[in-house]
Every structure is written in C-alpha cells, then in structure tokens.
C-alpha cells in the first residue's frame, strides 16, 4: 500500500496535535487550572492518528474517557476542546460536558464517554443507522483493553457481525485498566482473539506504528464500506502517564508498574518512530515536519488563549439543553 505524502503529513500533524494538547492538559491539570478528572493519551497517538486518517469527514467515531486524541485526529478543534476542558461557554459543549464528554456532531464525533464500554453499542447503532438509510458511512469505535471485559463489547461485536454493520472496533490495548494490569483481569493476552467469538476478523497491529495502523484501518474501512461487515483491530500500545492526572500524588510514583517498563515504551515513541521512518525513506524532509510542529505550537497557544478568554457559563444556563 502506498501512502500519499498528504496522508503522511496529515497523520504526523494529528500526532503532534495530540502530543502537544495532551502534554499541555497534563500540566494544566497538575497545576489545578482544570477541574475534574483528566485522562491523557500521551504515547498512544499513533492509533488515533492512523485510524482516523483512514476515515472521511462523514464517517463517525465514538471515543472514551481517554478521548482527546481520537477527537483531535478526527479533526476536533483544539480551541473549542480546550475551552470545554476549562469549563467555558466557548467550549464544544458550552462547559456542560468537560474532558470526558466532548462531542462534535459536524465532524461525526459522537462523543467521548465517561462510562467504560458505553461507546461500543453507540458506534454499532451509528453504523446501523447508516445501513438502514443506505449510506456507506463507516463508524470507528475506540475503546481500551479494560473495556473489552464489559458485556457491551461482546454484545456489540455480535450485533455488528450478524447484521454486517459498517463499524471498526479499535481496541487500544495499553496493558492497564486504571492501576490493574490487564493480565490479572483478562483471560486472554490478545483482545483480537475475541473477534472469533463473533465471527469477524481480528487483527493485531503495532499500535505505535502509525503506518501499520493506517494500513490495517484502510482495509477494515474498505471492507465495512463495501458491506462486508465489521473488523476488530487491536493496537498494542502503552500510556506514558498515569491513568488519571494526579494519581501519583495519591498512589506514589510507579505504584503499579516499573520505571523500566515505562521508559522502555518511551523509546518506542510513535512520533520519533515516524520521523525516523521519514528520514530513512526520504519521504518528508525534517524541515517540513518541523513546520508542522511550529504550526501546532501556535495552534495550541491560540487554543489556550481562546479557552482562557472564553467566559464561564452563567448559572442561568444550567437548565438549557435538557430537552430538544
């Protein structure tokens, strides 16, 4: 599969936007400038970027509590995301949702979700709507290894398989659900194996290799769009940061995994890997990549400025938006 230069640049930009955004969010939350629970996805950028690069604008995604990356990769605006996470009126949800509930319908972002496993039936239903209406839009559904132990995971895969729905189930397997290592609570070591329980293809991919993710995703999307049904893609990856920003203050550093383990994954950074690949294969020169970084820094600065200057919602707005 030959990936166009535009696609490569798009994926790199996605990864940089995620990395920059998440790093900033971590710092802001640590400094208590942001309320609530914040989960960041540093180290997992390639799966979000690779999957979303295989989608078009009318395709849809569902996401999780750790959702910023997916939303950004699907085209989410950093300024409105940042403002939402600040709880400001200028945010995507007018401050009503926050980090775990960002939605952008115009981009097919059906939402982050605070409930583990809740996105799977929603994604399945989104694909069902496309099928009933006779449209060929595809829905990609992000979730974690932990979520694959929820019943909704299996109920969704079964339904999607029986009805041949155009949905891609993307398991970002980072080896942990909160502070619990996957191997202590999950009966299998590869989530992809579970696809067989529902007669759909299950593919394992190096989740830190954006090119591989993109290739596998493109095939799954083509299959789905052609009416051939769902695919389960397992992206093996790792989160560099804690489950939730601030956890080390409660649990201590390295309470449930070793420094060595974390460091070994930092060596597999998906961004550096991509940069190296570009250099080795002479695909994109370093200057062009650097320009993306610069642009992203600027975008992020503007997003923060936007968020800070946006107003907090007025108390009177609390009763708006319950019913249509």
Partner 1 sequence: MPQTNFIQAINQALSEEMRRDPNTFLMGEDVVLAAFGATKGLIDKFGPSRVRNTPISEAGFVGAAVGAAMAGARPICEVEFASFFYCAFDQVCNQAAKLRYMSGGQASLPITFRAVYGAMGGAAAQHSETVYAQFLSVPGLKLVVPSSPSDMKGLLKSAIRDDNPVIVFEHGALGRLREEIPEGDHLVPLGKAAIKRAGDNVTVIAIGAMVPKALRVADKLVKESISVEVIDPRTLIPLDETALLESVEKTNRVVIADEGHLRGGAAADIAALIAEQGFDHLDAPIKRVTALDVPIPFSPPLEKAAIPGEDRIEAAIRDLMGR
Ligand X SMILES: Cc1ncc(C[n+]2csc(CCOP(=O)(O)OP(=O)(O)O)c2C)c(N)n1
**Shortest separation between residue 145's beta carbon and ligand X, angstroms:** 4
Q: CA separation (Å) from 55 to 41, 62, 74, 292? A: 20, 13, 8, 21
The residues in 173-212 that bind Mg ion, with binding defined as CB under 5 A, are 174, 176-177
261 binds partner 1 (CB under 8 A): no
149 φ, ψ (degrees, to nearest 5):
-95, -5
**Shortest separation between residue 269's beta carbon and Mg ion, angstroms:** 18
129 binds partner 1 (CB under 8 A): yes
Query: For its own copies, which is the closer residue by CB, 84 or 234?
Result: 234
Which residue in 69, 144, 230, 242 binds Mg ion (CB under 5 A)? 144
Cα 155 to Cα 210: distance, rounded to the nearest angstrom? 29
The residues in 131-160 that bind its own copies, with binding defined as CB under 8 A, are 149-155, 157-158
Q: Which residues contact 93 (CB under 8 A, 6 or more apart)?
A: 84, 101, 102, 103
The residues in 193-252 that bind its own copies, with binding defined as CB under 8 A, are 193-194, 196-200
Cα 52 to Cα 49: distance, rounded to the nearest angstrom? 5
The torsion defined by the Cα of 219, 222, 228 and 233, in degrees rounded to 10, comes to: 40
123 binds its own copies (CB under 8 A): no
190, burial (CB in 10 Å: exposed 0-12, middle 13-18, buried 19+): middle
Which residue in 60, 66, 68, 239 binds partner 1 (CB under 8 A)? 60
46 binds ligand X (CB under 6 A): no
Q: Which residues contact 160 (CB under 8 A, 6 or more apart)?
A: 124, 127, 167, 169, 198, 200, 229, 230
Cα 289 to Cα 272: distance, rounded to the nearest angstrom? 11
**Shortest separation between residue 118's beta carbon and its own copies, angstroms:** 12
Q: Which entry of partner 1, ligand X, its own copies, none binds 214, CB below 5 to 8 A by partner kind? A: none
185 binds partner 1 (CB under 8 A): yes
33 φ, ψ (degrees, to nearest 5):
-85, -10
Instruction: Name the segment binding ligand X (CB under 6 A); options: 50-58, 114-122, 155-163, 187-195.
Output: 114-122
Write out the residues near its own copies by the rule CB under 8 A.
149-155, 157-158, 161-162, 184-188, 193-194, 196-200
Residues that bind Mg ion (CB under 5 A): 144-146, 174, 176-177
């Amino acid at each position: 599969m030959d990936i166009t230069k535009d696609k490569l640049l798009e994926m790199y930009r996605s990864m940089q936007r995620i990395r920059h955004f998440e790093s900033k969010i971590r710092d802001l939350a640590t400094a208590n400038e942001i309320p609530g629970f914040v989960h960041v996805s540093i180290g997992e950028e390639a799966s979000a970027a690779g999957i979303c690069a295989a989608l078009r604008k009318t395709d849809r995604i569902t996401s999780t509590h750790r959702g910023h990356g997916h939303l950004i990769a699907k085209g989410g605006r950093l300024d409105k995301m940042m403002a939402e996470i600040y709880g400001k009126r200028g945010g995507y949800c007018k401050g009503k949702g926050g980090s775990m509930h960002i939605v952008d319908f115009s981009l097919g972002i059906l939402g982050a979700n605070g409930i583990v496993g809740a996105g799977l039936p929603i994604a399945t239903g989104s694909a069902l709507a496309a099928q009933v209406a006779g449209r060929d839009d595809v829905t990609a559904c992000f979730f974690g290894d932990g979520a694959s132990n929820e019943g909704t995971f299996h109920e969704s895969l079964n339904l999607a398989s029986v009805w041949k729905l155009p949905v891609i189930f993307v398991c970002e397997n980072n080896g942990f659900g909160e502070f619990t290592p996957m191997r202590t609570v999950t009966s299998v070591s590869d989530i992809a194996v579970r696809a067989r329980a529902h007669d759909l293809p299950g593919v394992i991919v190096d989740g830190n290799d954006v090119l591989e993710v993109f290739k596998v995703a493109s095939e799954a999307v083509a299959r789905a769009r052609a009416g051939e049904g769902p695919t389960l893609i397992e992206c093996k990856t790792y989160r560099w940061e804690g489950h939730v920003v601030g956890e080390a203050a409660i649990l201590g550093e390295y309470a449930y995994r070793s420094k060595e383990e974390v460091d070994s994954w930092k060596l597999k950074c998906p961004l550096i890997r991509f940069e190296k690949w570009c250099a080795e294969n002479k695909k994109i020169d370093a200057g062009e990549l650097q320009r993306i970084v610069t642009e992203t820094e600027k975008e992020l600065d503007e997003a923060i400025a936007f968020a800070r200057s946006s107003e907090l919602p007025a108390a009177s707005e609390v009763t708006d938006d319950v019913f249509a």
